[in-house]
Structure 1
Amino acid sequence: MDSASRHSPRIAYSFPAHTFDLRRVKPESCFDADDGAAMAIHLDGRWDKFFKNLRNLGLVMVTASRGPISMASAWEKPVFQSYPGTDEWICLETGSEIRPAAFGGAMAVVENVGDQQVASFQFFDRHGEGCLKILVTNWSDHEAYEDLVSRHASGRRTLDFGQKSEARTEMPSPAQGNVRNLWNGLSRSLPDSAFPGLEGVSRLSALEMAGQDLAWRLPRRVVRQALQNMTLAQVPLGGAVRNEAVFLPTGFYPTHWGDCRCGTTFFGEASQLTLRGCVHRGQAWATRFQVGSEEALCIEFYNAHRDFCGGIGLRSEAGPWQREQWKDLLKGGLD
């Protein structure tokens, strides 16, 4: 089920005009953004304190994106702890991971959309790309939002946090035999742009060499049709987005979909998935793994730079006929 589904019937994140006023919270740090359609305040970069107090907001809607895909999921009072031996934090309840060193900056933002307002915290990576957005919902504590803004407001418009990501040196295409020998190990690891077990080899290069019985490229129309069919059949889906700063997993029952200016969004009760192919070119691949006695097929997404962006598949709750339908739809991409 969707996380936070007990908050039915609806999680909303837009509010009547004048609900929020950043000028009231910290007037000396406030500035116009988005050609005057929003007000914003830069945050000071004390991420350990910020995320420690994030749970005070209650239920928030979190979105992460990269390349041709974005996902959103509800977090309720999230608690993050450091992951031993890394610079990452993990939320044990949701499985989400954050790498604060990859943040280039963040802002508290109140957007005006018609006669409504949307309040959020927006994070950017070292390249200035949006990587994480935390939205205030109707189940959030509005005073806690303003308190966090007040505590972490900064008058600086240019922030310098974290370390730049290291340039990846791509090795020559791997041998097919090496890829196939390591293939089933992929199902036991969190996906990344690197192919585990072959130093310097990207995941996408490995997919290209694996052979069409294990991995094949999918046309966008096949991806869209597969997700639409699963939505009509009310099939439980699970997936994740990974960018330089965030790993955001989510699981949900999609109930409907709709087109927007950047693509197509599939909505669940407290989660959603957007195919952003209209404005972000990339690739989609089907991957096939043997998990015990079951065959598992997933869709993986890559951006124009060949970086892994996210993936989606069926959750364990899916029934046998639903799995067969999913396989038939994805294998149709081979035709």
Structure 2
Amino acid sequence: METTLSSLKEKYEAARVENPKARIRDIARLLGSSEAQLLATGIGETVTLLEGDFREFLKEVNTMGRVMALTRNDDCVHERKGVYNNVSFDSPHVGLVLDPDIDLRLFMMGWKYGFAVNENDRFSFQFFDKSGEAVHKIYLTDDSNKEAYEALKAKYTAADQQLEITTEAYPPTPAEKPDSEIDVAGFQEGWRNITDTHQFFGILKKFGVSRTQGLRLAPEGFVQEVSNEAVETVLQKASETKAPIMIFVGNRGCIQIHTGEVNRLVRTGPWFNVLDPDLNVHLRTEAIAKTYVVKKPSEAGIVTALEVFDKNGELIIQLFGKRKPGIPELESWREVVKTVADF
């Protein structure tokens, strides 16, 4: 193990010299490794391995005060500043952080490894799934309590800092059933009878339909495929009109949500960015393969979303109008959506 770790460390350091602007996630792909394994090469120097119940850890993050939460997938990064208030778990695996600023849905079965990291005096806690991919990161800001960070790090430091970081790939996504094997009429009826948008996943599961297949088989008037530039158009319009929106970005272990306005929008190469004081979103638009405007019924009327997918049918980002359960969708959001869809 020592030799393997030492060899990986050398390769990682060489790759960083050759690719000074590359992120650790990209270097991991380049080396056929994982981000967690590359990070582990710094244990004993800039990295400390954590252990314990990460649910309890999350309940103590508020001691650090204002921090920056980061959740990402391959093609979108969501960074939001705030305090981790109101952390709760309905079951051993599913939890929430419910605060106007830090708003998370937690799927703890996806959390395997945790580290405390010092990147040139930029301090963070970083969590990874069994495949070694990052599920969530928490960075200190200038307003954070550094003493609380150190206390939390000490409390959850693993006794064995030599633990081997092993990774396990997820099984491939099952192939879609042919449309001819789907009870399309039943699926469409189920969609029309949704009373809460959270029921949608259950409808997909019940009829054995993938998400993008479900959008293709939707009842008439509920889905419209739109241009892959629609997400930029919608964000621009929301910015111009000051329409409060919700931005969802997630992975297997966490979904992170921003609710509020977006203001400063900037294009940098392949990335389209929201660069506001408390919110940064970085979207790799060249990865977008399909974009849909999707309508779902609720007790308070229709809820409209912009859903953006990659070539594998994985959700990259979702946009909604700002809303609360039981309250009708904002007309300002519907006006924004009209810039890309005509139904």
Name the TM tier (shorter chain): 0.7 to 0.9
CA distance in 1, matches of 2:59, 2:134: 21
Residue 325 in structure 1 maps to residue 335 in structure 2: yes
Q: What's the RMSD between the two structures over aligned residues?
A: 3.4
2:87 — aligned with what?
80
CA distance in 2, matches of 1:129, 1:42: 16
Residues 293 and 252 of structure 1: is their aligned pair in 2 closer, same or farther, counting only changes over 3 Å? closer
1:276 — aligned with what?
284
CA distance in 2, matches of 1:66, 1:191: 24
Deviations 1:238-284 (A, max 9, x none): 13223211122220211111234551111344233332234x45432
2:260 — aligned with what?
252
CA distance in 1, matches of 2:227, 2:193: 26
CA distance in 1, matches of 2:273, 2:231: 13
CA distance in 2, matches of 1:215, 1:241: 21
2:314 — aligned with what?
307
- Report how many aligned residue pairs link the two structures: 293
8 Å contact kept, 2:126–2:134: yes
CA distance in 2, matches of 1:208, 1:256: 34
One-letter amino acid of the structure 2 residue matched with residue 87 of structure 1: H
2:304 — aligned with what?
297
Deviations 1:20-51 (A, max 9, x none): xxxxxxxxx99649xxxx93222225313422
1:89 — aligned with what?
95
8 Å contact kept, 2:196–2:297: no
8 Å contact kept, 2:243–2:333: no
Deviation for aligned residue 1:331: 0.8
Q: What is the 5 A alignment of 1:256-267?
A: 256-260=264-268, 263-267=271-275
Deviates more, 1:296-305 or 1:235-244: 296-305
1:16 — aligned with what?
none
Deviates more, 1:265-274 or 1:142-151: 265-274
2:140 — aligned with what?
136
Deviations 1:126-153 (A, max 9, x none): 2222221111112210111122222323
5+ residue gaps in structure 1?
A: 1-28
Q: What is the 5 A alignment of 1:211-250?
A: 213-250=221-258
The TM-score normalised by the length of structure 1 is 0.74
CA distance in 2, matches of 1:205, 1:135: 37
2:14 — aligned with what?
none
8 Å contact kept, 1:255–1:268: yes
Higher relative contact order (CA 8 A, sep 6+): 1
CA distance in 2, matches of 1:202, 1:194: 11
Residues 296 and 99 of structure 1: is their aligned pair in 2 closer, same or farther, counting only changes over 3 Å? closer
One-letter amino acid of the structure 2 residue matched with residue 181 of structure 1: E
2:18 — aligned with what?
none
5+ residue gaps in structure 2?
A: 1-38
2:26 — aligned with what?
none
One-letter amino acid of the structure 1 residue matched with residue 97 of structure 2: C
Residue 102 in structure 1 maps to residue 110 in structure 2: yes
SS state at 1:96 partner: strand
The TM-score normalised by the length of structure 2 is 0.72
Deviation for aligned residue 1:190: 3.2
Deviation for aligned residue 1:62: 0.8
1:24 — aligned with what?
none
One-letter amino acid of the structure 2 residue matched with residue 203 of structure 1: R
Deviation for aligned residue 1:193: 6.5
SS state at 1:140 partner: coil
Residue 149 in structure 1 maps to residue 156 in structure 2: no
One-letter amino acid of the structure 2 residue matched with residue 124 of structure 1: F
Question: Sequence identity, in percent?
Answer: 16
Residues 160 and 57 of structure 1: is their aligned pair in 2 closer, same or farther, counting only changes over 3 Å? farther
Deviates more, 1:192-201 or 1:41-50: 192-201
Q: What is the 5 A alignment of 1:5-154?
A: 32=42, 39-84=46-91, 87-93=93-99, 96-112=104-120, 117-154=121-158
